[in-house]
Amino acid sequence: MPTICTCGGGHSTFGECMRAKNIRIGYCRSAANVDYSAARHNERELARYKAARAEGIQPGGTTTEHVDRALRQADKLGRAVDASKESV
């Protein structure tokens, strides 16, 4: 049987070659907005939230909108804020 493997491993089928490479499929639900872009967006939001918390600011949530609102409040008041207790 001729080899159809492109990696030079001598595998007899494409599937055997992929299994040998230990290929993993990720984000296979992109039609449902579960993809790499959404994951990156979520990671950026969480990083902004973490940075705000490191400054002592407690945003009302983890979204960019909540974090930005809490940062604006902190700038306006000149101190760290707890968005769940204060409103400006």
**pLDDT computed for residue 88 by the predictor:** 45
**Residues 82, 56: Cα–Cα separation, whole Å:** 8
Q: Which residue has the higher pLDDT, 55 or 4?
A: 55
**For the chain, domain boundaries:** 1-34, 41-81
**pLDDT computed for residue 66 by the predictor:** 94
Phi, psi at residue 22, to the nearest 5°? Answer: 60, 45
The per-residue pLDDT for range 42-86, each reduced to its tens digit, is 999 999 999 999 999 999 999 999 999 999 999 999 999 988 776
**pLDDT computed for residue 83 by the predictor:** 82
Contact between 4 and 13 (Cβ < 8 Å) = yes
Q: Which residue has the higher pLDDT, 87 or 9?
A: 9
